[in-house]
């Protein structure tokens, strides 16, 4: 397996709308109250899709600015504000989709292209086409993005239909309606809560994008978000026998609710606090307590006996006057606390936590560059419970960081100094334990970190992106050398080349 931090989104996603009129009415009333207390904010615009090539430019412009306009720890950002109008950002706007605009009307973009991929397993070459568009009418904005390519048939984690001559996925399909400073959202779109240009520990753009519904409201110093979702069904097992008898399997429905508060402490400092509840079971439906955006989910689990997997996240960002950015991301699934006089729980179970830190240097040694150093550690049993349907996953991927029982250090540099070219290089060293996405909780405190057998490795990735006028392309090279406890060495490499031509059609009124 190549332990590369990348993601492929999927096609067969599901949406769920409750038929409970009382719950719907309660949500409508709550949203109305939120909008009444909100202050004027940004105009209704589409989000800037999470694309590392684009967001490295955005991070550079933010760190070079005197003040931080965005709530930087919650991505994606809206297409608005001084960052989007910054002359430096416009210089590198070739990867920024032209169809995402702020003007009223209908915009459609088609990008036919070609991908060639060569790795140790296969050599493939196939055509692709990306079709996207948006519509803006007053306070309403709708966005859609469809990708059609046989490339996804080669991805082992792609859960869509691979039997046809090609595959497709809808990576974005959402609508936003703005009332004052509140944006009411419905649809699917990747989100990343945490450090920009890294996979967030609670939510990231690693999994397939899933349909979710809710709102984000913001003022000058505060931003609050609440969303709920219907996740994929699973053949469920329960090692504790709480919802399913031990040894049995049953089809389970899965749901999620998450809320987040972003705070601008001052012009240089920001933090974010998130709470989420993932719950499910045979014949499970939405739980009203987890639809309450002002609720504390953990109390509902303890007091109302609603079974769920709760998680918390704390982010921190500091912008030094020199332009350096310092980030921290802490995820708490279950920190073991000794509250029973009869036993020492820390001798029985392991913590389920994760931590990440990053420091970013703009113009480090070389002008017009952004250089970062990142460390991450995901404890052995993070993201999982005794019930596999409560695991922090959507289909075959973690909702947060791509791995657990994982520790890694990565350095990377992006050169932004050429108007038509952008180059990026990263090098990482890591170790990965024997824990997979489908496993249930195995919290024996005597198991070392990472859980053996351990694979250790080093990887190198180089990307070159080109864009001018209506043509864009990329070349990606990845190499990995790893070894296990028996000192068996494995070398893997891949080369990917892609070229696209962009057609745009805009109908304004």
In DSSP notation, 339-391 reads: --TT--GGGT---EEEEEEEEEEETSSSSSEEEEEEEEEE-TTTT--SBGGGS
Is the pLDDT at 388 greater than 60? The verdict is yes
Q: Residue 83 — very low, low, confident or very high, per pLDDT cuts 50/70/90?
A: low
For residue 381 the two structure tokens come to 């049993």
The DSSP call for residue 221 is: S
Compute CA distances 69 → 58, 80, 108, 281, 305, whole Å.
Answer: 11, 10, 29, 42, 42
79 in a structural domain: no
276 in a structural domain: yes
If one compares 11 and 328, the residue with the highest pLDDT of the two is: 328
Q: Residue 35 — very low, low, confident or very high, per pLDDT cuts 50/70/90?
A: very low
The average pLDDT across 203-208 equals: 92
Q: Residue 374 — very low, low, confident or very high, per pLDDT cuts 50/70/90?
A: very high
296 in a structural domain: yes
If one compares 456 and 149, the residue with the highest pLDDT of the two is: 456
Residue-level pLDDT at 76: 93
Q: Cα torsion at 18, 21, 23, 29 (round to 10°)?
A: 130
Is the pLDDT at 66 greater than 60? The verdict is yes
Q: Residue 24 — very low, low, confident or very high, per pLDDT cuts 50/70/90?
A: very low
Residue-level pLDDT at 275: 95
Report d(CA 404, CA 383) in Å as an integer: 8
The average pLDDT across 24-31 equals: 39
Is the pLDDT at 53 greater than 80? The verdict is yes
Percentage of residues in the chain having pLDDT higher than 90: 52
Q: Residue 6 — very low, low, confident or very high, per pLDDT cuts 50/70/90?
A: very low
The boundaries of the domain holding residue 364 are 23-43+59-70+179-507
Q: Cα torsion at 364, 369, 375, 381 (round to 10°)?
A: 170
Peptide bond before residue 386 is cis, with ω within 30 degrees of 0: no
Is the pLDDT at 405 greater than 80? The verdict is yes
119 in a structural domain: no
Is the pLDDT at 119 greater than 90? The verdict is no
Instruction: Please check whether residue 69 is in contact with residue 84, taking contact to mean a CB–CB distance below 8 angstroms.
Output: no
Compute CA distances 491 → 71, 315, 458, 480, 488, whole Å.
Answer: 41, 36, 10, 6, 10
131 in a structural domain: no
What CATH number is attached to the domain comprising 502?
2.40.160
Over residues 413-428, the pLDDT tens digits come to: 999 876 678 899 999 9
Q: Residue 315 — very low, low, confident or very high, per pLDDT cuts 50/70/90?
A: very high
If one compares 222 and 134, the residue with the highest pLDDT of the two is: 222
Q: Ranked by mean pLDDT, which of 107-121, 151-165, 481-495 comes out on top?
A: 481-495
Instruction: Please check whether residue 272 is in contact with residue 263, taking contact to mean a CB–CB distance below 8 angstroms.
Output: yes
Classify residue 267 as exposed, middle or buried by CB count within 10 Å of its CB (0-12, 13-18, 19+). exposed
Beta bridge partners of 18: none
Nearest to 50 by CA among 258, 177, 197, 187: 197
Residue-level pLDDT at 153: 76
Over residues 280-307, the pLDDT tens digits come to: 999 999 999 999 998 998 888 888 888 8
Could you give the maximum distance between any two Cα atoms of the chain, in Å? 73
104 in a structural domain: no
Q: Residue 10 — very low, low, confident or very high, per pLDDT cuts 50/70/90?
A: very low
The average pLDDT across 27-32 equals: 38
Q: What share of the chain is helix, strand, coil (3-state, %, to 5)?
A: 15, 45, 40
Over residues 209-227, the pLDDT tens digits come to: 999 999 999 999 999 999 9
Residue-level pLDDT at 27: 38
For residue 182 the two structure tokens come to 């509140």
The average pLDDT across 60-79 equals: 88
The average pLDDT across 345-354 equals: 75
Rg (CA), the chain: 23
Nearest to 128 by CA among 502, 504, 506: 502
Classify residue 339 as exposed, middle or buried by CB count within 10 Å of its CB (0-12, 13-18, 19+). exposed
Instruction: Please check whether residue 274 is in contact with residue 312, taking contact to mean a CB–CB distance below 8 angstroms.
Output: yes
Is the pLDDT at 376 greater than 70? The verdict is yes
For residue 9 the two structure tokens come to 């989104």
The average pLDDT across 30-35 equals: 36
Q: Ranked by mean pLDDT, which of 47-61, 88-102, 117-131, 318-332 comes out on top?
A: 318-332
Residue-level pLDDT at 317: 97
Residue-level pLDDT at 160: 72
Classify residue 501 as exposed, middle or buried by CB count within 10 Å of its CB (0-12, 13-18, 19+). middle
Q: Give how many domains the chain has, as a whole number.
A: 1
Average pLDDT, the chain: 83
Instruction: Please check whether residue 314 is in contact with residue 330, taking contact to mean a CB–CB distance below 8 angstroms.
Output: yes
For residue 338 the two structure tokens come to 């000794």
214 in a structural domain: yes
Instruction: Please check whether residue 217 is in contact with residue 31, taking contact to mean a CB–CB distance below 8 angstroms.
Output: no
Reduced to 3 states (helix: H, G, I; strand: E, B; else coil), residue 154 is helix
Residue-level pLDDT at 372: 98
167 in a structural domain: no
The average pLDDT across 472-491 equals: 90
Q: Cα torsion at 91, 94, 97, 102 (round to 10°)?
A: 20
Q: What is the pTM of this model?
A: 0.86
The DSSP call for residue 449 is: S
């Amino acid at each position: 397996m190549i332990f590369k931090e990348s993601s492929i989104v999927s096609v067969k996603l599901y949406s769920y709308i409750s038929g409970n009129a009382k719950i719907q009415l309660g949500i409508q009333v709550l949203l109305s109250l939120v909008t009444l207390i909100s202050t004027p904010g940004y105009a209704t615009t589409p989000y800037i899709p999470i694309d590392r090539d684009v967001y490295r430019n955005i991070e550079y412009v933010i760190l070079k600015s005197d003040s931080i306009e965005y709530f930087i720890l919650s991505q994606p950002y809206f297409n608005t504000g001084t960052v989007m109008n910054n002359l430096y950002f416009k210089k590198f706007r070739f990867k920024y989709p032209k169809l995402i605009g702020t003007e009223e009307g209908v915009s459609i973009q088609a990008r036919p292209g070609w991908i060639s991929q060569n790795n140790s397993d296969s050599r493939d070459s196939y055509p692709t086409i990306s079709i996207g568009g948006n519509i803006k009418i007053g306070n309403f904005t709708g966005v859609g993005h469809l990708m059609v390519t046989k490339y996804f048939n080669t991805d082992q984690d792609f859960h869509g239909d691979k039997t046809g001559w090609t595959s497709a996925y809808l990576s974005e399909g959402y609508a936003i309606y703005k009332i004052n400073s509140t944006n009411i959202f419905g649809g699917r779109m990747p989100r990343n809560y945490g450090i920009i240009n890294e996979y967030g520990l609670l939510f990231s753009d690693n999994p397939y994008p899933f349909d979710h519904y809710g709102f984000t409201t913001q003022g000058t110093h505060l931003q609050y978000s609440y969303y709920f979702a219907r996740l994929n069904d699973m053949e469920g097992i329960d090692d504790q026998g709480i919802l399913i008898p031990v040894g049995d399997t049953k089809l389970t429905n899965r749901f999620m609710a998450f809320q987040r508060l972003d705070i601008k402490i001052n012009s240089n400092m920001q933090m974010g606090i998130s709470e989420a509840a993932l719950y499910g079971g045979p014949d499970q439906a939405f739980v009203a307590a987890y639809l309450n955006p002002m609720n504390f989910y953990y109390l509902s689990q303890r007091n109302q006996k609603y079974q769920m997997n709760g998680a918390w996240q704390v982010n921190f960002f500091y912008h030094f006057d020199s332009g350096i950015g310092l980030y921290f991301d802490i995820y708490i699934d279950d920190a073991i606390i000794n509250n029973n006089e009869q036993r020492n729980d820390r001798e029985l179970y392991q913590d389920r936590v994760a931590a990440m830190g990053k420091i970013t240097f703009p113009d480090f040694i070389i002008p017009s560059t952004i250089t970062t150093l990142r460390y991450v550690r995901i404890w052995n049993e993070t993201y999982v419970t005794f019930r596999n349907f409560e695991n922090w996953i959507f289909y075959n991927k973690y909702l947060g960081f791509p791995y657990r029982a994982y520790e890694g250090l990565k350095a990377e540099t992006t050169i932004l100094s050429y108007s038509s070219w952008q180059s990026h290089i990263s090098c990482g060293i890591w170790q990965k334990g024997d824990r997979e996405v489908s496993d249930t909780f195995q919290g024996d405190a005597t198991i070392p970190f990472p859980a053996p057998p351990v694979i250790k490795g080093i990887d190198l990735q180089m990307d070159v992106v080109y864009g001018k006028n209506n043509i864009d392309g990329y070349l990606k090279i990845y190499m990995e050398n790893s070894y296990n406890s028996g000192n068996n060495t494995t070398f893997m490499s891949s080369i990917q080349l892609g070229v696209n031509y962009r057609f745009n059609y805009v109908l304004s009124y």
